[in-house]
Amino acid sequence: MAELIPPCGGYCKSCVVYKKACAGCVETGGKPFYIEKEKKDVCPVWACSIKQQVEHCGLCKEFPCDKFLECYDPHRGIVTSLRRAGLLALRKKIGNDAWVKWIKNKKIMFGV
């Protein structure tokens, strides 16, 4: 399952643009569909998780850092970062498999 769980707190299979406009962060090495519009080579949160050697941001000793908090959908505002922060806290507490089941059970969607 981890192949579809990026470090930022999103879940690709529950994203409205997954397989339509985006191949997934993990599958593209941290290059979601919007990254070119931001004139970046790779998602800064993705790059940071690699540098910090953490599976996801919630496991980082610096979490939530400015880099994480500043990575949000400009149309919806910082609330998207805060939402992902909460989801990462839950992911850290219950583990990846239980977190994915919880996301599916609660019908949590991303990209909306």
Each residue's pLDDT tens digit, 54-103? 999 999 999 999 999 999 888 888 999 999 999 999 999 999 999 999 99
pLDDT for residue 72: 87
Residue 103 lies in a domain: no
Residue 88 lies in a domain: yes
Residue 107 lies in a domain: no
Residue 108 lies in a domain: no
Place of tokens 């990462």: 88
Most confident of 11-25, 27-41, 83-97: 83-97
Domain range for residue 60?
2-97
Residue 83 lies in a domain: yes
Total domain count, the chain: 1
Cβ neighbors of 25 (< 8 A, separation 6 or more) are 6, 8, 10, 12, 31, 32, 43, 46
Residue 77 lies in a domain: yes
